[in-house]
Amino acid sequence: MPEPHTPEVNFVPDWPPGPLDAFREQSAFDFRQLKTVLEDINSLRLKYKIWKMLESEPLFAKIKPTPSVDEQKKIAAKQMMRVAKLDIVPPEVYAMGYLPRYRFLMSVNEALHAICPSLSIKIALGVGLFQNTLRAMGTEQHSSFYNAAWSREIVTCLAITEVAHGSNTKRIRTTATYDAQNQEFIINTPDFEAAKCWVGNLGKTATTAIVFANLFTPDGQAHGLHGFLVPIRNPLNLQLYPGVLVGDMGEKIGLNGIDNGFAMFTNYRIPRENLLNRTGSVNEDGEYMSLFSEPSKILGAALEGFSAGRLGIMQEATNTLAHSVVIAVRYAAIRKQFGPDKFGPEQPILEYQLHQWRIFPYLAAACVLKTSVYSLTDLYLKTIEKSQANSNGIDLLSQSVGEIHALVSASKPMYTWTARDAIQEAREACGGHGYLKASNLGELRNNHDACLTYEGDNNVLGQQASNWLLRQWVDGVESPMGTVNFIKRRKEILGNTFSSLSQRFEITSWQFINHCLEWLMCWLMQTIVNDMKVAKENGACPFEAKNNTQVYRAKDLSILYAEFYALSSFRLRCLKSDVATCLEPVLGLIYQIYGLWVIDRHMVAFYQGSFATGATFAESIRSNLLSSCRALKADAVTVADSLAPPDYVLNSVIAKSDGLLYQNLQNEFMTNPGALERANWWRDVLPFPKSKL
C-alpha cells in the first residue's frame, strides 16, 4: 500500500478507475506525493483553480474543426480580455513582495499556456514582458503605462527584431533622433530591411509598442540601442496613428492566435519622456547622460529583463515535454502489439526494451527539468529582488548578470530542444493514432517550435553561454551563484578517468555521474581554449577562431552546463526533508536514467579526451541505462500521473486518465463533425459530372 499523500494536496482528485489501474497499483507511492516534489504546492493549487474556472467558460472550449487563422486571432484576443475580468489575479497579488508576486504570475502563465499557448504568449508579451522591460529600463515617469498594460487599457508589444536582423541586435537600424526644439524623438525606419517584424500583438491589436532604436542626439552622436514607448493605435477604435505603417505577417506554422506584425515609421514623433531612461537619458537640451561607466553594459543590463521571458519559456517547454511523455506512457501502457506466443496474448508496448529506452529518458527529463526550472527561477528572482531593494541596484544586477545570463542562455536551448525531441519521439511512439490532431501531439509540436527561435535563437544563445564559461576558465572563476566553482578543481577533475572513478563509485551513483559531467566540461573548456590558441597562432582572427570551435565543442559545452545544473538542482530537491521515504527509489531511478542518458549522448567526447579506453565504459553506461529503464517500468504510469494535468488540459483522446483508449477513440471518430455524412462536395468529384444520378 502506498503511503497516503498529505491532505493539503486533496485538490488534485483521484484518477477515474480503468485499465491503467493495473499499472498504478504497482507503485509504492501515491502520484500526488511525487507531484509535490516536482512542483510547488501553491503553484499547483493555483493552476488547478484556473483550469477549473476556464473549463466552464465557453470561450475556452476546444473547437473542432480548427478555426480559420483570423478566427484564431479573434478568439485569443477575446480570451485575453476575458482573463482580465476573471478573478485570476486578485488585488492582493499587488501587495505581495516581488518574489511571491512573480511566482504567482508565472504560475498563471503556466496554467494558461497549458490550455491556450497563443493566449498565454499574447499576455506574456503584452503584459509580463512589457512590464519587465519597463521595470528594467524605465523609471517612475513610465508607471502609467505599467498600470495601463495590466488593466488592458493598452495592448502592448515589444519590437526589437527587424526584417534583416534578429540575433545581432547591435545591427538594428531603426533610429530615434532627438529634436530639442520640440522635445521629441523622431522615429524612422530607413528601409524595408529595417522594418520591425515578427512582433507579437503588433499585427492587429497592439496600441503601444516598446520600440528598440538607435538613439541620436542633435549633435549627430549615436548612443546605441534604447527602448522607446511608441503609441501605435488609438485604444478606443484600434485605428493606426498617422506616420506608422503596420501589417499582420500572415499564417504561421503554429501559434496562429498571435498576431505577429511588421511596422515602418516615417518621421514619427513621440515625447522625450517616452525614452526608457533607467540606464541613460537625454535632457531637454539634448545632452545624453549615461548611468553606466561602461556604455557597453547598457544593453546587457537592459536586455537582462528578458531572462524572465526565457525562464517562462523554459517552464512552458517543461510542461510541453511533460504532456508529450504522459501521452506516450499512458498510450504505451494500454496499446498492445505482439507477444511471445504468435497466437497467445499480446503485451503492452511499454514492455519492450526499445520502447522504454525511447520514452523513459524523456519521462525522467520532465521530472528533472521541472525541479530545476523552479530553482533557476528562484535564483533569478532573488537576484532581481535584491537589485531592486538596493540603492546600488543596477551595479548589483550587472555583477550577477553574467552568470544568470549564461545559465539561462545554456538552459533555454537545452530545455526547448529536449521538449522538441520528446514531442517527436512521443508522436512516433503513439504510431498512427499519434498523428491524429485529437492526440494533441501535433498541436504541442507546432506551438512549441517557435520557442527554439524567439527570445534568442537557441544556437546563438548557447554561444553566449559558452563564451562566459570560457572566460571563467581563462580569466578565473567569478561565480556569485557558484554554478562553476568546480572549475577551481580543474586539475583534480582532469586527473579522473573512468577506471579511477568506477573503482570508487557505483556507475549509477550520483557521485559517478557528477564526476563524469565535471570532467567533460573541463575537458571541453581546455580543448576549446587550446584549439583557439592554435587557430590564432595559425593566423585566424578571434572571430574566426571562436566560430570554428562551436561544432562538437562549445555547443556541447553549453548544453552540458545546463544538464549539469539541472541534475544538481534535482538532487538538491530530492534531499529536502519534505520528500517521503517511499519516493527515494523512484527519485533515484529518475536521476540515474537522466544522468546516464546525458553521458551516453556525449559518449564520443569521453573517448576523444581519453577519459575511457576500450568498450567497458560505453557498455557499463548503456547496460545500466537499460536496466534502470526496466526498473522504472513498474512506476512509469504513476510517474506520468504525477506529471499529468487534468484531462481537459492534456486534451488527448489517446491518453485520457481513464485508460479507455479504444472507447475514447471510437467516440472521437463517431462524433467528428460530418464524419458519417456524405461530403457536401460529392457532386464535384463524380466520374461523370453531367450524369443525372
- Residues designated as active site: 455
* Three-class SS state of 342: coil
The cell numbers describing 547, all together, are 566560430
Residue 243 corresponds to which cell in the numbers above?
Answer: 506616420
User: 3-state SS string over 5-60?
Assistant: CCHHHCCCCCCCCCCCHHHHCCCCCCHHHHHHHHCCHHHHHHHHHHHHHHHCCHHH
Q: Which three cell numbers stand for residue 586?
A: 523512484
Q: Where are the alpha helices (DSSP H) in 439-507?
A: 441-449, 458-475, 490-494, 498-504
3-class DSSP state of 176: strand
Q: What's the CA gap between 271 and 284, in Å, rounded? A: 11
CA dihedral 223, 307, 141, 185 (to 10 degrees): 30
Please tell me what DSSP assigns to residue 431.
G
Smallest separation (angstroms) from ligand FAD to the CB of 264? 14
Bridge partners (DSSP) of residue 175 are 188, 214
**Smallest distance from the beta carbon of 167 to ligand FAD, in angstroms?**
3
User: What residue is closest to ligand FAD based on CB?
Assistant: 166
Q: Is 161 annotated as a binding residue?
A: yes
CA distance 599 to 520: 9
CB of 170: closest distance to ligand FAD in angstroms? Answer: 12
Kind plus residue range of the DSSP H or E element containing 282: strand 280-282
Write the DSSP string, 227-277.
Answer: EEEEE-B-TTT-PBPTTEEEEE----SS-TTS-EEEEEESSEEEEGGGB--
Decide whether 200 or 645 has the Cβ nearer to ligand FAD: 200
| Among 327, 289, 196, 396, CA closest to 647 | 327
What's the closest the beta carbon of residue 528 comes to ligand FAD, in angstroms? 15
Handedness of CA 471, 454, 543, 174 (dihedral sign): negative
Instruction: Write the DSSP symbol of residue 186.
Output: E
Which residue number, 118 or 356, has a Cβ lying nearer to ligand FAD? 118
For the bound state, the minimum distance from the C-beta of residue 212 to ligand FAD, rounded and expressed in Å, comes to: 8
Shortest distance (Å) from residue 82 CB to ligand FAD: 22
Task: Check the annotation: does 453 bind a ligand.
Answer: no
CA–CA dist 586, 221 (Å, integer): 62
Q: Rounded to the nearest whole angstrom, what is the least distance from the CB of residue 561 to ligand FAD in the complex?
A: 18
Q: Which is nearer to ligand FAD, 368 or 554 (CB)?
A: 554
Considering the complex, state which of residue 198 and residue 617 has its C-beta at the smaller distance from ligand FAD.
Answer: 198
Q: Which is nearer to ligand FAD, 40 or 457 (CB)?
A: 457
The residue type of 547 is: N
Contacts of 667 (CB under 8 A, 6+ apart): none
Is the CB of 331 or the CB of 454 nearer to ligand FAD? 454
Angle (CA) 105 260 222, round 5°: 90
Which among 188, 194, 187, 203 is positioned nearest to 246, based on CA atoms? Answer: 203
Q: 96 has which bridge partners? A: none
Question: Which CB sits closer to ligand FAD, 158 or 429?
Answer: 158
Q: At a CB cut-off of 8 Å and minimum separation 6, what does 443 contact?
A: 254, 437, 651
Instruction: Summarize as ranges the residues that interact with ligand FAD (CB under 6 A).
Output: 125, 157-161, 166-167, 198-200, 255, 260, 450, 453-454, 456-457, 459-460
Q: How far is the CB of 299 from ligand FAD (least distance, A)?
A: 14
Closest CA to 167 of 541, 467, 464, 557: 464
Which CB sits closer to ligand FAD, 163 or 665?
163
Smallest separation (angstroms) from ligand FAD to the CB of 268: 17
Instruction: Specify the amino acid at residue 685.
Output: V
Closest CB 160 distance from ligand FAD, rounded Å: 3
Task: List, in sequence order, every residue forming a beta bridge with 199; answer none if it has no partner.
Answer: 261
3-state helix, strand, coil in the chain (%, to 5): 60, 10, 30
Give whichever of 82 and 165 is closer to ligand FAD, judged by the CB atom. 165
CB of 535 to ligand FAD, least distance (A): 16
Output 164 or 665, the one with its CB closest to ligand FAD: 164
Q: What is the 3-state secondary structure (H, E, C) of 615-675?
A: CHHHHHHHHHHHHHHHHHHHHHHHHHHHHCCCHHHHCCCCCCCCCCHHHHHHHHHHHCCCC
Between 48 and 262, CB nearer to ligand FAD = 262
Taking the C-alpha atoms of residue 441 and residue 423, their distance in angstroms, rounded to an integer, is 7
CA distance 608 to 52: 53
- Known binding site: residues? 161, 200
Binding residues for FAD: 161, 200
